[in-house]
Structure 1
Amino acid sequence: MPPPRSLRFLPALTLLACAPQAPSTGTPSERPPVELAPPAGDDWYRHAVFYEVFVRSFQDSNGDGKGDLPGLISRLDYLNDGDPSTTTDLGVDALWLMPVFDSPSYHGYDVMDYERIDPDYGTLEDFERLCAEAHRRGMRVILDLVVNHSSSQHPWFVESASSPTSAKRDWYLWSNTDPGWSPPWDLFAKGATWYERNGAYYYGVFWSGMPDLNLKTPAVREEVKRIASFWLGKGADGFRLDAARYLIETSGGLSGQADTPETHAFWKELAAHVRSVKPDAVLVGENWTTTPTIATYYGSTAQVPGGDELPLNFNFPLAEELLKAARAGDAANVTVKLAEMRSHYPAGVADAPFLTNHDQVRVATQLGGKAGDLATAASLLLTLPGSPFLYYGEEVGMANGTTNNDEAKRTPMAWNASAGAGFTTGTPWFSFSPGSEHTHVAAQVSTPGSLLSRYRELIRVRHASRALERGGLKLLTPTLGRAPTLAFLRGVGDERVLVVHNLTDAALTAGPFELEGDTSEVLFADPSVGSLLRSGGGWSVTLPGHSTGIWRLR
């Protein structure tokens, strides 16, 4: 088994914490306002709400304790029932399936057959049925495509390792001696990246069981494009791209193992191919690094609106600050990250904000299960521009498991308080998270003040407003000093929406905000949020602790 994926990136977390901030000039009153342009184009993925699913942990259909594709199909109405008039579904627009290809591991990031569904999850026909049922409900489906490496049990690698004269020898990276490279995320580490096999050494940046594919080899690049075409033809609507920074190595060291020009060139090549096969398909990059580097993965916007490389990239630096803000009651660093995005992101690209994913300790655990902090985190995520991603169970406050391995971040979904939590009639593949007997879907689905109800309502409000769903952002909170409230204006066309969050425990008055408009329409307001009042040319509002107000200005 590979080491926990989270451990591979611990140094990157340090980099995020120490990331240089965007330079600023002039006094606060002289600095230009922080504004983010609306995403260019009207592609579905530039304003969709995505839901990340670990199939093994979502719903078991046959009692073997492992979630599967038929089980996921049976729960699609929970995610989106296809009827805009109902309010009982979550309302997400797209599903991201963590790896579902045949693999020797539970997590699937070491692929053994790129064209076969893992038998634990079902069949190719099950996948096609999932896509058809999701599409019927208005949802898209994207697949985790892992092309930085394969499993060491993949027939390609077995053949490559068999002989220096193998026809697939150059499908992987081989050396007669151990080059002794350190991992690119920690150049002071002594961890191995080259491993001996049959008298030679192969490169595997993450683990010996996951040898890196050699994408300098034209035949490998063509095979990756063929595989992408295969799944697009089966109904997939795009791909999440694992370890996107580490694709093509040119030498040891950070500059030779991460973010190489050759890596960018391949993503442009793959993106052009995907657009040629399915023009509205999306590619989402996992680039766990600083804002300036993430910005480079959009590529050029000269010919392709939104970028000719990866049109969505996970915003790891912002995710870290969103959780810090919810925990500390201070959005100051969120405003700094928004300013940093303004300085580095190409105009018109779509952001991909999130709170946590399968490699991180869950939101509820990081925030200590505090209802106010969890409500704040949800509100921040779902009112920002771009395409927000939710991690399964996040919407009900699901906590981490009790162990220190990655399985604890991917525990089975709790649907009700029964012995199998509604997930399975058998023995679950891994233990449920602590508190699952009361933190489950059934306990919250009909409760107006629940976290689940908050997610559902905010997603609906987002979809009901073009400004929230597709608009840009103008920051109203200063980027200097403590920020107990966070306020911004979302806008597109002639629609303008004011969003105000109180991140603290105490009631606060926010404003005055000097904005045009004589009247306001409430789109969302927590209980006891005051009326938005206009006085002396500015709008002000009083909000109780951990509350949000959203108004359309007219």
Structure 2
Amino acid sequence: MPSLRSSCLLLPLFTLTSCVTGPATPVDGSPTPRVELAAPTANLWYQHAVFYEVFVRSFQDSNGDGKGDLAGLISRLDYLNDGDPNTTSDLGVDALWLMPVFDSPSYHGYDTTNYERIEPDYGTNADFERLCAEAHRRGMRVIVDLVINHTSSQHPWFQESAASPESAKRDWYVWSPVDPGWRQPWDLFSQGATWHPLNGAYYYGVFWGGMPDLNLRTPAVREEVKRLASFWLDKGVDGFRLDAVRYLIETSGGLTGQADTAETHAFWKEFAAHVRSVKPDAALVGEAWTNTPLIAPYYGSTAQVPQGDELPLNFNFPLAEEIIKAARLGNGNGLALKLSEMRSRYPVGVADAPFLTNHDHVRVATQLDGKPGALVTAASLVLTLPGSPFLYYGEEVGLLNGTTQNDEAKRTPMPWDGSTGGGFTSGTPWFAFAPGHENTHVAAQMTAPGSLLSRYRDLIRARHASPALERGGLTLLTSTQSRTSTLAFLRTLEGERVLVVHNLGDSAENAGPFELEGDLAEPLFVDSSVRAPERDGGTWRITLPARTTGIWRLR
């Protein structure tokens, strides 16, 4: 990589206005430039909100059947955000992402049978509208999973399509008279079949036969998908998390013909334009589970739409891996390099969507072996980087994976207290609690100042207290050229500058010297064992004990 003295390292969320080549010096002695950043090119709520992912089935049961439901979720909204900025007992999140809540034959809901009806296990459409109203009353937005790559094979559309080659909905799905032999496009060695026999023909389903792919080349299908988006936006939804965005329209077999096609990108532009026409500030969050160069194009063009004319938020899977690696190994070099790659790949003016894990990952607490210090580090990183952080329910208390190897083990019931039903249900839970739930639960951490839950709450409040920390740019002060146990950066917005320093390691570290203009006006978040930075002229040094963080506003 070129010397940092001659290149500006910044996140692409904001526009570069000047690059001053010094003199800030990171811990390894290599020079690093200061970067002045302008305001974001678009200031939409979802570009800096803290999101909280909820699996409704596992969050709170209201009727004793062992399954979480919308009424139960409503009863727990005050835990997430009580709507009162003067209280400190709530988590303080800004938005909810609900995993699929539409009618489905499966526990997970990613195979829909009716896009206009709430899953009966969860309640009714009226319950959903009440949830949106109650969330909005507390200042929270609600986005829902909209799965349009495929439906359930039990969906009436597919049943009609499969009935006859002459069916009016035959072209709503992708059919072939022979098996083209395409394999799943995850990698070069995939052996999973994607064409499935039925009634003398073959239909395409990239994930499995129970989820046939919709044919989004068909104009009637595209119009129906847009109508469904309008249907839920009109009922109070504030946007959509979009599943499997890479796989909508295939042109041929293989890695390039079944994923990331030009036709897929064109559809997302069309869909996003429709959503903006109905609700201009609606959030669209894409799941493109791949590398940085392939994620970046899903933002689309920023020429006419500053946030991107395809999907204005995209989950940053590679960054999540680097955050967890930094927390596990105590080395921030890979994370610094990833930020540099994002700068070179992402369009200027777009917002990131960082996270640790979601419902498809082994939980972060299990990946980090339940080590308190590593969990503290992971939380501190994801909540101080730019963009819109997404938290997965239970991460804030250190919830582990379940004991089985299936996906249900990543989606176990939320432990609210140490009782038999965990405060989740008065009946038998639909799936067993994760190990250690008797001690790892919300009640045990609610009033404990040093708990992981209290750290999440305090960091979210620090974000909300600082425009620069919440929606500002980033200037990396840590070198990308060697191993580093500290990660330091400036977050800036207009006249506010915030210095963030993390010690990722298991021993005390000296961060600096940093040559930064100004004084430290106030601490926004400082671990109790962190001493105030020491200044010698214009040079700052900071000593941080193991696994600690300091955040200061500069005057």
Indicate whether the TM-score tops 0.5. Answer: yes
Counterpart contact for 2:468–2:492, Cα < 8 Å: yes
1:146 corresponds in structure 2 to: 147
1:306-321 matched pairs, under 5 angstroms: 306-321=307-322
The AA in structure 1 aligned to 2:291 is T
Comparing 182-191 and 332-341, the one that deviates more:
182-191
| Superposition deviation, residue 37 in structure 1 | 4.1
Per-residue CA deviations over 1:303-341 (Å, capped at 9, x if unaligned) read 111101100000000000000000000010000000000
Per-residue CA deviations over 1:428-447 (Å, capped at 9, x if unaligned) read 00000000000000000000
Provide structure 1 residue ranges, at least 5 long, that are not aligned to the other structure. 1-23
In 1, Cα distance between the equivalents of 2:349 and 2:10?
15
SS at match of 2:46: helix
1:510-525 matched pairs, under 5 angstroms: 510-525=511-526
In 1, Cα distance between the equivalents of 2:146 and 2:548?
38
Counterpart contact for 1:520–1:532, Cα < 8 Å: no
2:397 corresponds in structure 1 to: 396
1:231 corresponds in structure 2 to: 232
SS at match of 2:530: coil
2:17 corresponds in structure 1 to: none
In 1, Cα distance between the equivalents of 2:262 and 2:148?
17
| Superposition deviation, residue 36 in structure 1 | 4.0
Counterpart contact for 2:13–2:351, Cα < 8 Å: no
Asked if 1:33 is matched to 2:33, the reply is no
| Superposition deviation, residue 35 in structure 1 | 4.8
1:137 corresponds in structure 2 to: 138
SS at match of 1:254: coil
The AA in structure 2 aligned to 1:522 is P
2:184 corresponds in structure 1 to: 183
Mark the CA change 1:62 to 1:499 in structure 2 (over 3 Å): closer, same or farther: same
Per-residue CA deviations over 1:57-82 (Å, capped at 9, x if unaligned) read 00000000000000000000000000
Asked if 1:287 is matched to 2:304, the reply is no
Q: Which runs of 4+ in 1 moved over 6 A?
A: none
| Superposition deviation, residue 518 in structure 1 | 2.8
The AA in structure 1 aligned to 2:466 is S
In 2, Cα distance between the equivalents of 1:223 and 1:124?
19
Asked if 1:488 is matched to 2:464, the reply is no
| Superposition deviation, residue 520 in structure 1 | 3.1
Per-residue CA deviations over 1:25-52 (Å, capped at 9, x if unaligned) read 3x45444334544342111101100000
1:34-73 matched pairs, under 5 angstroms: 34-38=10-14, 39-73=40-74
| Superposition deviation, residue 186 in structure 1 | 2.2
| Superposition deviation, residue 486 in structure 1 | 0.2
1:509 corresponds in structure 2 to: 510
In 2, Cα distance between the equivalents of 1:86 and 1:278?
31
In 1, Cα distance between the equivalents of 2:193 and 2:332?
40
SS at match of 1:542: strand
1:84 corresponds in structure 2 to: 85
Mark the CA change 1:545 to 1:157 in structure 2 (over 3 Å): closer, same or farther: same
Per-residue CA deviations over 1:59-115 (Å, capped at 9, x if unaligned) read 000000000000000000000000000000000000000000000000000000000
Per-residue CA deviations over 1:380-422 (Å, capped at 9, x if unaligned) read 0000000000000000000000000000000000000111000
* TM-score normalised per structure 2: 0.95
SS at match of 2:256: helix
Provide structure 2 residue ranges, at least 5 long, that are not aligned to the other structure. 15-39
| Superposition deviation, residue 534 in structure 1 | 1.8
In 1, Cα distance between the equivalents of 2:550 and 2:379?
13
In 1, Cα distance between the equivalents of 2:218 and 2:143?
26
In 1, Cα distance between the equivalents of 2:533 and 2:466?
18
| Superposition deviation, residue 532 in structure 1 | 1.4
SS at match of 1:256: coil
* TM-score normalised per structure 1: 0.95
| Superposition deviation, residue 465 in structure 1 | 0.1
In 2, Cα distance between the equivalents of 1:385 and 1:196?
47
Per-residue CA deviations over 1:464-509 (Å, capped at 9, x if unaligned) read 0000001000000000100100000000000000000000111111
The AA in structure 1 aligned to 2:513 is P
| Superposition deviation, residue 521 in structure 1 | 1.3
1:441 corresponds in structure 2 to: 442
1:302-451 matched pairs, under 5 angstroms: 302-451=303-452
In 1, Cα distance between the equivalents of 2:288 and 2:275?
20
2:298 corresponds in structure 1 to: 297
Counterpart contact for 2:13–2:387, Cα < 8 Å: no
| Superposition deviation, residue 426 in structure 1 | 0.2
1:257 corresponds in structure 2 to: 258
The AA in structure 1 aligned to 2:260 is D
Counterpart contact for 1:50–1:388, Cα < 8 Å: yes
The AA in structure 1 aligned to 2:80 is L
The AA in structure 1 aligned to 2:266 is A
SS at match of 1:383: coil
| Superposition deviation, residue 365 in structure 1 | 0.3
In 1, Cα distance between the equivalents of 2:543 and 2:187?
47
In 2, Cα distance between the equivalents of 1:316 and 1:542?
32
Mark the CA change 1:158 to 1:33 in structure 2 (over 3 Å): closer, same or farther: closer
**How well do the aligned residues superpose, as a CA RMSD in angstroms?**
0.9
| Superposition deviation, residue 254 in structure 1 | 1.1
